């Protein structure tokens, strides 16, 4: 994705009061990464070199890479004591009226709820 799209994506989810963003870039983007790494609650993973180093291989299909990404994001979320994860591609934007605090809405769900799916 172009740098401006990556930065817009991050800004959008921060405006929804996401407490952490775990971003996975298919291709290194030093400009975007330079901006994002200055934020204390954004973690950027460049998947091209990192998969090969950390996992021994880079999955060939986007679906397999997304599965690996969510596994890594779950590890990060457990480390950071994050209760909920959202999984969005860079062209997918959750809409919340008046930038409502999505986290507060999720926190109101019963403890036994394991999945929340937004509706249109």
What pLDDT band is residue 103 in, cutting at 50, 70 and 90? confident
What pLDDT band is residue 78 in, cutting at 50, 70 and 90? very high
Question: Any alpha helices (H) in 23-101, and if so which ranges?
Answer: 30-36, 47-50, 62-79
Q: Give pLDDT tens digits for 8-20.
A: 999 998 988 888 9
Instruction: State how far the Cα of 6 lies from the Cα of 2, in Å rounded to an integer.
Output: 7
* Statement: the pTM of the whole predicted model exceeds 0.75: yes
**What was the pLDDT predicted at 64?**
83
Residue 59: pLDDT above 80? no
Tokens 């401006």 belong to 4
What pLDDT band is residue 65 in, cutting at 50, 70 and 90? confident
**What was the pLDDT predicted at 109?**
82
């Amino acid at each position: 994705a172009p740098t401006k799209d990556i930065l817009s994506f991050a800004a959008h989810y921060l405006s929804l009061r996401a407490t952490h963003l775990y971003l996975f870039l298919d291709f290194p983007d030093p400009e975007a990464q330079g901006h994002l790494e200055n934020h204390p609650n954004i973690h950027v993973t460049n998947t091209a070199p990192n998969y090969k180093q950390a996992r021994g291989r880079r999955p060939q299909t986007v679906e397999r890479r997304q599965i690996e990404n969510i596994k890594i994001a779950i590890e990060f979320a457990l480390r950071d004591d994050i209760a909920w994860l959202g999984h969005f591609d860079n062209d997918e934007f959750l809409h919340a009226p008046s930038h409502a605090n999505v986290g507060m809405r999720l926190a109101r769900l019963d403890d036994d709820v394991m999945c929340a799916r937004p509706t249109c």
